[in-house]
């Protein structure tokens, strides 16, 4: 079993929809949780960063962490075609070694 | 100009050839990383370096070697390339003085081994 599980998609939604992306993990030592966005032919770029359990909001994006369930989510409100990308969850406990999910490919259609 | 630059962006090579992928950064970060990305497998760590004299193996280092020539440069070599090393390769950096967990990625090198 992988340490981090992420549904690969692809996920196709109409413009304006609310998108929910999720990852589950098995390592209780993970404390820092990130979401990276990767556009086609580009490197991943950090989108959201949270520590421990709770919610964090940034514009149309909300990251949630539930450590008791070992489950993290990224919500995108009012999705736009420019949100079409692959979203990677990542997490770590210590020493800056990240463990990544496999990524979910999102397509937002007009 | 990009803060983390990878060269070449694309490379096609033959089985058994030696190849070097290069990464340079202008962010002034001490920590540098090499990953490969494969469909269905995500990003996997090959090697990482916390400074010029500190180089460590990641989860999939077999068949690869690295060189940290300076704080700003970190190269990945495939001594004898094989087809299952066909993948997208990324270099990343992080700054332990600010937040060691935030990594900044280059645009990637797409490598095909025939």
DSSP string, A27-45: -TT--EEEEEEE-TTS--E
State pLDDT tens for residues A95-109. 668 999 999 999 999
Are residues B4 and A43, on separate chains, in Cβ contact within 8 Å?
Answer: yes
Strand order in the sheet with B19-25: B4-7, B19-25, B73-78, B65-70
Please give the Cα distance from A12 to A7 (Å, whole number): 13
Find the closest chain B residue to A96 by CA distance: B101
Smallest Cβ distance to A43: which of B96, B102, B107? Answer: B107
Q: Which of A8, A45, A96 sits opposite B101 (nearest CB)?
A: A96
How many contacts does A have with B, using Cβ atoms within 8 A? 54
Q: Is A31 on the interface with B (CB under 8 A)?
A: no
pLDDT over threshold 90, residue B43: yes
Averaged pLDDT, B20-45:
94
Mean pLDDT by 10 residues, chain A (110 residues): 86 96 94 95 94 91 95 97 96 83 95
Q: How far is B39 from chain A (nearest CA, A)?
A: 8
With contacts defined as CB-CB under 8 Å, which chain B residues touch A90? 43
Q: What pLDDT score does A96 carry?
A: 65
3-class DSSP state for residue A84? coil
Task: Find residues 42-61 of chain A whose CB sits inside 8 Å of chain B.
Answer: 42-46, 49
Which residues, 6+ apart, have CB-to-CB distance to B30 below 8 Å? Answer: B50, B51, B71, B95, B96, B97
Do residue A32 and residue B40 have CB atoms under 8 angstroms apart? no
A50: how many CB neighbours lie within 10 A of its CB? 18
Nearest alpha carbon to residue A19 among A56, A63, A71, A52: A63
- Each residue of B59-104: pLDDT tens digit? 999 999 999 999 999 999 999 999 999 999 999 999 888 888 899 9
A100 touches chain B (CB under 8 A): yes
Contact call for residues B37 and B86 (beta carbons, < 8 A): no
């Amino acid at each position: 079993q992988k340490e981090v599980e992420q549904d690969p998609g692809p996920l196709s939604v109409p413009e304006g929809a609310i998108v929910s992306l999720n990852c589950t993990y098995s390592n209780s030592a993970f404390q820092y949780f990130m979401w990276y966005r990767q556009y086609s032919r580009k490197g991943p770029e950090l989108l959201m960063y949270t520590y421990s359990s709770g919610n964090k909001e940034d514009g149309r994006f909300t990251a949630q962490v539930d450590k008791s369930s070992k489950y993290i989510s990224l919500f995108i409100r009012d999705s736009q075609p420019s949100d079409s990308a692959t979203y990677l969850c990542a997490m770590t406990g210590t020493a800056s070694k990240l463990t990544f999910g496999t990524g979910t490919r999102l397509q937002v259609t007009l | 100009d990009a803060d983390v630059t990878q060269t070449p962006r694309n490379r096609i090579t033959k089985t058994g050839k030696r190849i070097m992928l290069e990464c340079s950064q202008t962010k002034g970060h001490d920590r540098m990383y090499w990953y490969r990305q494969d469909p269905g497998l995500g990003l996997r760590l090959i090697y990482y370096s916390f400074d010029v004299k500190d180089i460590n193996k990641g989860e999939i280092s077999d068949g690869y070697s690295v060189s940290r020539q300076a704080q700003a440069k970190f190269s990945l070599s495939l001594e004898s390339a094989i087809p299952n090393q066909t993948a997208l390769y990324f270099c990343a950096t992080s700054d332990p003085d600010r937040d060691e967990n935030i990594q900044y990625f280059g645009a990637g090198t797409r490598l095909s081994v025939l």
